[in-house]
Amino acid sequence: MTKVIHYGYADTPEGQIHYREAGSGPPVVLLHETPLSGATYETALPHLAPYVRAIAPDLPGYGSSPHPEAPLSIPEYAHRIGLIFEALGLERVAMVGGHTGAAVALQVAVEWPDRVESVVAMGSPLFTREQGDAMIDRTDLGYRFDKDGSHLGAAWKYIARFLGPDASEEYYDVVTRAFIQTGSHFDWAFKAIFTFDLYELLPKVRCPTLFLVTEGDFLRSKNDESAALTPHGEERVLDLPHGELYARYPETFRDEVVSYWRKTGYLP
């Protein structure tokens, strides 16, 4: 499939947000996992383009979006993403997010309830305080710039463990470039999500919400409870061995989200 992806920067009162987009029609904003970037959606964007205007921004400090002056909270990430609605002329949107991006998308839906039609959350980061503290310890890679290049080895060990041997060479390249590009700030969003109370947020989400996950996603166990906590939530679990549905199985991802948008009336 030919990639027809356009790149740009949205100018907002809080700074620029880099994004990529493909297609036309009802807009959909797709938010990435961290410490990656919107580039992880590039395989999926051409599949979505015949149906929607698919927009995949880089969260502040990730990909090609400039680093904020200080770490942001999940509500602060959501606020900055919401500002692109005006910058890009988006009246009504559907949101999609993976892991950290799912929490940001859900927060956007709460802050802009009149603009967000629905959310598809792929891997719900629903953590108790104790679980969040343990996850912070697990993701402390000691990744700090070193002139001997040892930080690159630490990054590669993390990436190889995260992706496993079954990921394509192209996806390894995308993830590696995104990680290196983020630099020593890679863990800012990790700390934000592992200290965020999704238990408090989910009951406030009023739009239709699909918790879509694969059996191989490490957040699979959070799906049932997340859907139960969300007023208009439902869940769907796909029998696939890996996470990152949009990158590893783009056609299945397309089929699932397009079906949901039709079901909820966002697409005819």
Residue span of the structural domain in which 53 resides: 6-263
Write down the pLDDT at residue 208: 98
Q: Residue 217: which pLDDT band, with cuts at 50, 70 and 90?
A: very high
Is this prediction's pTM over 0.75? yes
252, two tokens: 């299945």
Count structural domains, the chain: 1
Write down the pLDDT at residue 140: 64
- Answer whether residue 268 is part of any domain: no
- Answer whether residue 1 is part of any domain: no
Q: Residue 134: which pLDDT band, with cuts at 50, 70 and 90?
A: confident
- Answer whether residue 176 is part of any domain: yes
- Answer whether residue 18 is part of any domain: yes
Residue found under tokens 């199985």: 249
Q: Which residues of 204-239 are buried (b: 16+ CB within 10 A; e: fewer)?
A: ebebbbbbbbbebbebbebbebbbebbeebebeebe
- Answer whether residue 256 is part of any domain: yes
Residue found under tokens 């297609």: 23
pLDDT, tens digit, 9 for 90 and up, residues 152-173: 777 788 788 888 888 888 898 8
> CA dihedral in degrees (208, 88, 267, 254; nearest 10)?
-80
* CATH number of the domain enclosing 97: 3.40.50.1820
